[in-house]
Amino acid sequence: ENVTEGIDNVTIDGISISQKNNIIVINGLGKSKTVAVYSIDGKLLLTDTATGVDATCLSIENLPNGVYVIKADYATFKTLKQ
């Protein structure tokens, strides 16, 4: 499993992810692929399903500041909300 720390336009095997303020933007996911946001202790906080056409966007605005793990299909990323 691929793991990347921090988000600043990171790409793993065709899946790219970036963070703009409190929005996580994921490109390159196939249709019906799941994106999930977990707390650092492994609790599932948010999910969305990619359409395969446009970028998948998740708002983390309502989450407290901290470190989060984003799983997008087979790629895993960590991000920090400040």
Q: How confident is the model at residue 82 (pLDDT cuts 50, 70, 90)?
A: confident
What is the predicted pLDDT for the residue at 47? 93
Tell the residue number behind the tokens 């977990």, with chain if given. 38
pLDDT band at 5 (very low <50, low <70, confident <90, very high): very low
**What does the pLDDT read at residue 2?**
54
Q: Over the stretch 12-66, which tens digit does the pLDDT of each residue have?
A: 778 888 888 889 999 888 888 999 999 999 999 999 998 877 889 999 999 999 9
Q: Nearest-CA neighbor of 74 among 40, 44, 48, 36?
A: 36
> What's residue 4's pLDDT?
47
Contacts 24+ apart (CB under 8 A), 10-14: 10/77, 12/75, 12/77, 13/74, 13/75
Q: What's this model's pTM, rounded to 2 decimal places? A: 0.80
